[in-house]
Chain A
Amino acid sequence: MTLLQVKGLGKSYNSETQVLKNVDFEVNAGEFVSIIGPSGAGKSTLLRCINRMVEINEGKVIFDNADVGSLKKKELRKLRTNIGMVFQHYNLVPRLTVIENVLHGRFGYKTTMQGIMGRFTEEEKEHAFMLLKKLGIEDHAYKRCDQLSGGQQQRVGICRALIQEPKLVLCDEPIASLDPNSSKVIMDHLKSITTDMGITCLVNLHQVEVAQDYSDRIIGLRKGEIVFDGPSKLLHEDQINHIYGTELRELITV
């Protein structure tokens, strides 16, 4: 089943540069897809067009049979509850506790008043603790987020995305600020979201090897255009060179 369709998507922040050009792809429910590409290729922008954190200029994004570009404010909030997001810098509220940050993922389901008063149901709280347990950070539930390590904070970020009960999780460089060990923990958890819970994952990555290890499919983005789209096994040296530009790639591998 197709969960997400991106058709002829174009995006520019200003008149001079076109950040995304005619981007076309589809994602099926239950897929784990990585997006790779050099810095400035437009990976972050592409993810933000999907939940419309930035406005779409051309083309269409169809998520779960809804045309994302034409949604009204209320409908957009509803759409966002179905799409979780995980960030490079975790983006937690540092002065609040872990459990409070996780419950922030439920705001999309709340009225203004319920949200302001922070009224969460017992089921929601239990769900939050269950997710913390699943990610192995239940001991830290009442700690303030700024007392946690990067890897732990990222796991809180993942819990916040999962408590939304989303159909799709967008991850913008989830491991770019982490050491190799924590990176592996995070990638394993993300992978298990897809395999155990059946939630689709779309992950921006800088590490080609990680993308190859974990994803079913890889999309290569270069200067706002898709230059590769296929199963990870078919991504070979020359395609990688094409995505990153030959000279650059050599620099990294030497």
Chain B
Amino acid sequence: MEAGRTNDLPYIKRTKDGRINIKSGNKIDLVVKWTLIILSILTVMAFFFFNYIGLQWDRAIPETAHNLRVMFLEPALNHFSWGEAFYQVGITVGLGVLATVIGAVIALFLALMAAENLSRPWISKSIRAVVAVIRAVPTVLWVLIFAIAAGLGSEAAVLGMLFHSTAYLVKAFSEAFEEVDAGILEALRATGANWWHVVTHGVLPSTFTYILSWVFLRFEINFGVAVAMGAAAGAGGIGFELFMASGFYFDLREVGFITYAILIIAVVLEIISTQLKNRYFPASTNN
């Protein structure tokens, strides 16, 4: 038989039932597999341990449905005007833009120092370590930490978002820089170009579309965080109004309205970013 011949070839790995393996079957695969299995089991089990006392299913479900219907089918403004709403949305967008733009500029320089192919190993390693620590702490915590010095409000919110955005973008940018073909860097260095020449005319043109995509992505995240910070850290903007409407006035219709406003802004931002990319960097859509 055909299969019989390949049976004793030492370089073919087989499963226990004799079929040929196409995964290398290393430890990492195994660990990933078991992690997934254990997580799934834990998730299912969690449902059985929830505290269901006092929960009346027959009332809870219809009332939630009713609340959702009021919120999303009958949105209305009761405590502030349309103009006010626009103004507040503008504040939230402004917070996001400020944190993202400043963060991106700082991150660009730090990322150049953090990229292994453009920097010295010890500089690159130390920046990476610091940045990893900053990233590990959630944005909200950074805002609260800065609130100690600046007091709760928009300054603390922007500083906190800036801190986390910078760290996030340093990682993203430096990884993009490291993807640049080593041959390009070599060719430029071989002409006698110095480090700044290589960066501005080799690395940045090759990675510009990635950098732009990461900045837009981070802006979307920051917009979301800015909404949350309005509520949690008193940074103002639409998030604060949302907090007031839901937690203070219990006005479901207004919550619905604000949610729609945020949704529309998010969609508009998405459209603008896609348009920008298509117009100025058509290459990013086809490679």
Q: In the complex, are the beta carbons of A93 and B197 less than 8 A apart?
A: no
**Quick check: B206 and A77 within 8 Å, CB to CB?**
no
Are B196 and A115 in contact, CB atoms less than 8 angstroms apart?
A: yes
Docked-complex contact B201 and A77, CB < 8 angstroms: no
Taking a contact as CB atoms under 8 Å apart, the answer to whether A91 and B186 are in contact is yes
Q: Point out the residues of chain B lying under 8 angstroms from A95, CB to CB.
A: 205-206, 208, 283
Q: What's the nearest-Cβ distance from chain A to residue B177, in Å?
A: 14
Task: From known contacts A107-B201, A115-B201, infer whether A91 and B183 are also in contact, taking CB-CB under 8 Å.
Answer: yes
Q: Across the interface, do B201 and A118 meet the contact criterion of CB distance under 8 Å? A: yes
- Choose the segment among B13-21, B118-126, B187-195, B230-238 that binds chain A (4+ C-beta atoms closer than 8 Å): B187-195
Q: Is the CB of A116 within 8 A of B190?
A: no
Whole-angstrom CA separation of A115 from B183 in the bound complex: 20
- Taking each of A89, A108, A112, which has the highest tally of chain B beta carbons within 10 Å of its own beta carbon? A108
| Interface segment out of the listed A33-41, A80-88, A190-198, A219-227 | A80-88
Given contacts A93-B206, A104-B201, contact A81 B192 (CB under 8 A): yes
Q: B206, A85: Cβ atoms under 8 Å?
A: no
Chain B 167-185 residues near chain A, CB threshold 8 A: 181, 183-184
Chain A residue at minimal CB-CB distance from B190: A85
* Distance in angstroms between the alpha carbons of A84 and B193 in the assembled complex: 12
Looking at the assembled complex, report how far the CB atom of A126 sits from the nearest CB atom of chain B, in whole angstroms.
Answer: 19
Known contacts A91-B184, A93-B202, A95-B205; A53 and B197 CB within 8 A of each other = no
B56: CB under 8 A from chain A? no
Assembly CA distance A60 to B187 (angstroms): 23
Q: Which of A61-101 contact B (CB under 8 A)?
A: 77-81, 83-85, 87, 89, 91-96, 100
Q: How many residues of A contact B (CB 8 A)?
A: 34
A107 and B197 contact, Cβ closer than 8 Å, known pairs A78-B192, A80-B192, A93-B206: yes
Contacts of A104 in B (CB 8 A): 187-188, 191, 193, 201-202
Does B191 contact A81, Cβ atoms closer than 8 Å?
yes
B202 surroundings in chain A (CB, below 8 A) = 93, 104
Are B192's CB and A108's CB within 8 A? yes
B200 sits at the interface (CB 8 A): yes
Q: Residue on B with the closest CB to A88?
A: B183
| Contact status A77-B194, CB under 8 Å | yes
Chain A residue with Cβ nearest B195: A112
B187 touches A92 (CB 8 A): yes
**A164 in the interface (beta carbon within 8 A):** yes
CB neighbours of B201 from chain A (8 A): 93, 96, 100, 104, 107, 115, 118
A–B pairs, 29, beta carbons within 8 Å: A80-B190, A81-B191, A85-B187, A85-B191, A87-B183, A87-B187, A91-B183, A91-B184, A92-B184, A92-B187, A93-B184, A93-B202, A95-B206, A104-B188, A105-B191, A107-B188, A107-B191, A107-B193, A107-B194, A108-B192, A108-B193, A110-B197, A115-B196, A115-B197, A116-B200, A118-B201, A160-B187, A160-B191, A164-B192
Q: Establish whether residues B186 and A77, one from each chain, have CB atoms under 8 Å apart when the complex forms.
A: no
Binding site for B on A (CB under 8 A): 51, 53, 77-81, 83-85, 87, 89, 91-96, 100, 104-110, 112, 115-116, 118, 157, 160-161, 164
| Smallest beta-carbon distance A130→chain B, Å | 18
- Given A93-B205, A95-B206, are A83 and B194 neighbors across the interface (CB < 8 Å)? no
Taking CB as reference atom, which chain B residue is nearest A79?
Answer: B192
* Bound-state Cα–Cα, A28 to B200, Å: 37
Please determine whether A112 and B197 come into contact, CB atoms closer than 8 angstroms: yes
Q: Which of B181, B192, B208, B283 contacts A77 (CB 8 A)?
A: B192
Q: How far is the CA of A16 from the CA of B193 in the complex (A)?
A: 33
Q: How far is B196's CA from A96's CA once the two chains are assembled, in angstroms?
A: 17
**Least CB separation from A118: chain B residue:** B201
Residue of B nearest to A82 (CB): B192
A94 touches B206 (CB 8 A): yes
9 further A-B pairs in the complex, CB-CB below 8 A; given A83-B190, A116-B197: A53-B189, A77-B194, A80-B191, A85-B191, A87-B187, A104-B191, A107-B197, A115-B201, A157-B187
Q: Which of A53, A107, A109 has the most CB of B within 10 A?
A: A107
Query: A81 vs B192: C-alpha distance in the bound complex, in angstroms?
Result: 5
Could you tell me the distance between the alpha carbons of A112 and B196 in the complex, rounded to whole angstroms? 7
CA distance A157 to B183 in the complex (A): 12
Partner of A53, one of B190, B194, B205: B190
Instruction: Tell me the bound Cα distance from A77 to B208 in angstroms.
Output: 27
